[in-house]
A = this chain, B = another copy of it.
Amino acid sequence: MLTAEIIAIGSELLTPDRTDTNSLWLTEKLNSIGIEVKLKTIVGDDDARLEEAIKDALGRSRVVITTGGLGPTEDDITRKIAARAMNRRLLLNEKVLDAIRTKFLKMGRAMPEINSRQAMVIEGAEVLDNPNGTAPGMYLEHDGRNVVLLPGPPREMRPMFENFVQPKLAAKAGDVRVVRRILRVAGMGESAVDERIAPIYTQYRNPQTTILFNNSEIEIHLTAQAKTEAEAELLLDGLAGQIEEKLDHAIFAFRGEKMEEVVGLRLAVGGFTLAVAESCTGGLISQRLTEVPGSSVYFMEGVITYSNDAKIRSLGVDSELILKHGAVSSEVAEAMAEGVRHRADTDFGLAVTGIAGPGGGTEEKPVGLVYIALSDDAHTEHRRLMIPGDRNLIRWRSSQAALDLLRRRLI
């Protein structure tokens, strides 16, 4: 496999507030054409350090990609330093200069003098057009290395890479295509997942399997290599099928979809409608569901009943029920689900009540105790959860469990 290095340039990337995220996108793209990223460097607007970083990278890796530092100001040193690191001259390119001038004219302005710096091109480099900005990129081959200079802003960098760089590098990389598939799991613990599927995936080196735990969600990443994408997809189908057999309905997404997308699609396809009543999740479930474009077709109404009074008045929960069992109880969760379904006249009612903390817990009902309930016209059911973690994690896991309860009903 070809190896690549990415150098992200800009002093703002060395502050506590900013990190280089371009490289994640680039890594995905590079991997897909069979190129592996072996090292990343983040360097400020610092001549000596950048020169050393570029020279080191050229000494080690076949593909060297820089992002950032192509702007018009003094601080934008990538052109100059890259030229110096490769011992090449930096030449004014009249065609590029004209193009930049024209871009400014179209905005009704004269080109500021400093922007002429962006027309300086490294000797022997191919200029990469930038439809979304003034800084052109560059591509050159130097001592058998492929060197790519890209602008920092993602909306300029991404199309430039996809349109010009990716086809070139794919040709160099030859007949290797890498395809990744993300399976997502709900309702099972990490070790339970690994225990069931490790006997399968450890038998394969291709596809390669990685299990990731993000924000309490389990993702299974399968990466297959083959001569064509179709062959890689076949390898993925094979392994994904075996994993599905072991995990069954615990896998809710086979292509990285979000839970709210999966649930939304099932509701839309079935022609069902939904209303949601939330206490401790405070609107998170409704917010997730309505983040999906087109959700107005199935999402009718949400109610956030934080107070007991609101539960009684807005959802018709019997005050006796709250007195007897408490607001955080299976009885109240079910009454909330039924209440919101009747009120909004929908096919399904989904409800959550629980204690997200940090305060409000008792010995009998500690922080993390959550009840979720689902109601349709045939029956109402609930689940009791004990969720570890902080307030945000408890809220997020509660929302995930509630959506998963609905998803399983819709299967």
Residues of A in contact with B (beta carbons under 8 Å apart): 12-21, 23-25, 27-28, 31, 36-44, 46, 49, 52-53, 56, 60, 180, 210, 212, 214, 221, 276, 278, 281-287, 289-291, 293-296, 299-307, 309-310, 313-314, 343-344, 357-360, 391-392, 395
Q: Are the CB atoms of B44 and A358 closer together than 8 Å?
A: no
Q: Are the CB atoms of B302 and A304 closer together than 8 Å?
A: yes
A16 is contacted by which of B12, B24, B46 (Cβ under 8 Å)? Answer: B24
Q: What's the nearest-Cβ distance from chain B to residue A281, in Å?
A: 8
Sample of 14 further A-B pairs with CB below 8 A, known A282-B299, A290-B304: A14-B40, A16-B28, A17-B212, A38-B49, A283-B283, A283-B287, A286-B287, A287-B287, A291-B392, A293-B357, A296-B307, A299-B306, A301-B305, A313-B343
Interfacial chain B residues near A43, Cβ < 8 Å = 38-40
Residue of B nearest to A287 (CB): B283
- A-B residue pairs in contact (CB < 8 Å), sample of 17: A13-B40, A14-B36, A16-B25, A19-B23, A19-B24, A39-B41, A39-B42, A39-B49, A281-B287, A282-B286, A284-B287, A291-B392, A295-B306, A296-B306, A301-B306, A303-B304, A313-B343
Q: Are the CB atoms of B293 and A301 closer together than 8 Å?
A: no
Q: What's the nearest-Cβ distance from chain B to residue A3, in Å?
A: 10
Q: Are the CB atoms of B21 and A391 closer together than 8 Å?
A: no
Residue of B nearest to A311 (CB): B301
Interfacial chain B residues near A307, Cβ < 8 Å = 296, 300-301
Q: How far apart sit A301 and B294, CA to CA, in the bound complex (Å)?
A: 25
Interfacial chain B residues near A285, Cβ < 8 Å = 283
Interfacial chain B residues near A42, Cβ < 8 Å = 39-42
Asked if A344 meets B310 with Cβ closer than 8 Å, knowing A27-B16, A286-B282, A301-B305, the reply is yes
Q: How far apart sit A235 and B118, CA to CA, in the bound complex (Å)?
A: 38
Residue of B nearest to A286 (CB): B283
Q: Are the CB atoms of B38 and A41 closer together than 8 Å?
A: no
Which among A53, A282, A283, A313 has the greatest number of chain B C-beta atoms within 10 A? A283
Interfacial chain B residues near A46, Cβ < 8 Å = 38-39
Q: Are the CB atoms of B310 and A301 closer together than 8 Å?
A: yes
A60 is contacted by which of B37, B49, B314 (Cβ under 8 Å)? Answer: B49
Q: Are the CB atoms of B304 and A282 closer together than 8 Å?
A: no
Interfacial chain B residues near A283, Cβ < 8 Å = 278, 283-287, 290, 302, 304
Q: Are the CB atoms of B37 and A14 closer together than 8 Å?
A: yes
Interfacial chain B residues near A25, Cβ < 8 Å = 16
Q: Are the CB atoms of A293 and B344 closer together than 8 Å?
A: no
Residue of B nearest to A219 (CB): B17
Q: Are the CB atoms of B286 and A301 closer together than 8 Å?
A: no
Which among A281, A282, A343 has the greatest number of chain B C-beta atoms within 10 A? A282
Q: What's the nearest-Cβ distance from chain B to residue A170, in Å?
A: 17
Interfacial chain B residues near A303, Cβ < 8 Å = 301-304, 314
Interfacial chain B residues near A27, Cβ < 8 Å = 14-16
Q: What's the nearest-Cβ distance from chain B to residue A388, in Å?
A: 14
A300 is contacted by which of B286, B291, B310 (Cβ under 8 Å)? Answer: B310
Interfacial chain B residues near A38, Cβ < 8 Å = 14, 43-44, 46, 49
Asked if A282 meets B293 with Cβ closer than 8 Å, knowing A39-B49, A300-B310, A301-B314, the reply is no
